[in-house]
Amino acid sequence: MKKNITVLGAGLVGSLLSVMLGRRGHKVQLIEKRPDLRKVKWEDGRTINLAMSERGWRALDRIGMMEEVKQIAIPMYGRMMHSEQGKLTFQPYGKEGQSIFSVSRSLLNEKLMNIAEQEGNVSLLFEQKCMQVELDKPAIHLTHVQTGESRVIESDILIGSDGAFSAIRSAMQRTNRFNYQQYFIEHGYKELTIPAAANGDWAIDKHALHIWPRGNFMLIALPNPDGSFTCTLFFPYEGEPSFQSIQTKADVIAFFEKTFPDILPLMPDIADEYMQNPTSSLVTIRCYPWTYQNKVALIGDAAHAIVPFYGQGMNAGFEDCVVMEELMDKYGDDWQTLFETYQKNRFPHAQAIADLALQNFVEMRDLVADPKFLLRKKIEAHIHQKHPDLWTPLYTMIAFSHIPYADALAAGKKQEQVMQRIMNIPDIESTWQELDYKKLLQE
């Protein structure tokens, strides 16, 4: 039976899910607080570009958009680490030819909105702020952010794809026995730009995710199609150095000269940008349940906002959509069972990727500058190549497979123990290529 479905939040996940729902013949109202992105740029402090990997591609493939998006995506084959002396070290993400992709958030979102609108079954409504949620109907009370005009939208099913500070989730939080956690790390982030070179070309290698690991903090850079890079400084709010300790333009220049000397000459507007651009916080949201009867469901960041350090935020949200669609095939009109199965199946994997994302911050900002750690990664890649049936590195499982996140996390913990033993082998630096890993693993 076809349903009237309201999807609140026309970000990436809400737009994708609306396409899927519309194609199944449901009548979808896709509602967004911000103006139409295709006419007015969103200035909401969300990241400019993001890392698309296998889970994201699979979702786009399901709606036939993979090839189109690949056109605007820039492959990044590994991490390029920049030392304080400007020395470069490259660490591949996977096997030869495997890469994650830098994609513009707004371009991707526009494409998804266009496809949704072309469906015929999806209508978009912008600049509508959700003021109140009635879970039992379900209904949402909206107010137009410009005119103040208000309306109530009732439907059969209500989907909350309204992000980390979800209004739908807020309403669910007021029901009894709703588990909820919001956890902010001690770091915030600020976006900065490396503009294209004078000839329009990228100023540094465009096929890598660049990292300036500095122990307790880091700078990263992802390429944009226009030749620029978007840099993100992940930095403590307090302490020395921190957003609090770097206050003036002179502070900024002195800090970059000392800490990121190789990149400073490529960032002519750094001081102005640093002063003008907002500092944003980084939150992990965990909650349960994700659904309310057969009426309401949370998806994407609304159910499980994570920190960006595994590049899996959008990928995880897109995988939610794939899981939801598979369950629609399985349970048809039984939305109660569909929703219950969705939340039960998906929750442990959301927990796992939230944990992995928090852990990976330490790896990115600190460990990747450690030769021993890089050797370990090299050995893991070596084992994977020689014995692909026995060993898949954790990063590969997350970025280049569909192995459920919690299963990957569990396998990764076992690998951690094995690798600790291997790294303790005397002279491992010189002998690692000759070891009998099959025997070691069987022990």
Q: Interface with a copy of itself by CB under 8 A: which residues?
A: 173, 176-184, 237, 281
Residue type, 190: K
Q: Residue 179 Cβ, how far from a copy of itself at the closest point, in Å?
A: 5
**Toward a copy of itself, which CB reaches closer, 206 or 286?**
286
Nearest 5°: phi and psi at 228?
A: -90, 170
154 to 29, 102, 122, 397: CA distances (angstroms): 10, 38, 16, 41
Contact assessment for residue 353 and residue 302, using Cβ atoms and an 8 Å cutoff = no
Q: Residue 171 Cβ, how far from a copy of itself at the closest point, in Å?
A: 14
Q: Residue 177 Cβ, how far from a copy of itself at the closest point, in Å?
A: 4
In angstroms, rounded to a whole number, what is the distance separating the alpha carbons of residues 253 and 88?
22
Residue type, 284: T
**Toward a copy of itself, which CB reaches closer, 170 or 401?**
170
In angstroms, rounded to a whole number, what is the distance separating the alpha carbons of residues 222 and 50?
8
Kindly state the tokens that stand for 279. Answer: 């500092």
CA dihedral 7, 12, 13, 19 (to 10 degrees): 70
Q: Residue 286 Cβ, how far from a copy of itself at the closest point, in Å?
A: 8
**Toward a copy of itself, which CB reaches closer, 59 or 172?**
172
Contact assessment for residue 34 and residue 106, using Cβ atoms and an 8 Å cutoff = no
**Toward a copy of itself, which CB reaches closer, 86 or 278?**
278
Contact assessment for residue 287 and residue 180, using Cβ atoms and an 8 Å cutoff = yes
Name the DSSP class of 258.
H
**Toward a copy of itself, which CB reaches closer, 193 or 284?**
284
The DSSP-derived string for 195-210 is PPPTTSS-SS-TTSEE
**Toward a copy of itself, which CB reaches closer, 293 or 431?**
293
Kindly state the tokens that stand for 389. Answer: 């049936």
The DSSP-derived string for 320-338 is HHHHHHHHHHHHTT-HHHH
Q: Residue 350 Cβ, how far from a copy of itself at the closest point, in Å?
A: 16
**Toward a copy of itself, which CB reaches closer, 55 or 187?**
187
Q: Residue 73 Cβ, how far from a copy of itself at the closest point, in Å?
A: 33
**Toward a copy of itself, which CB reaches closer, 288 or 432?**
288
Nearest 5°: phi and psi at 149?
A: -60, 140
Q: Residue 260 Cβ, how far from a copy of itself at the closest point, in Å?
A: 26
Q: Residue 182 Cβ, how far from a copy of itself at the closest point, in Å?
A: 5
| DSSP-derived pairing of the beta strands 157-160 and 296-298 | parallel
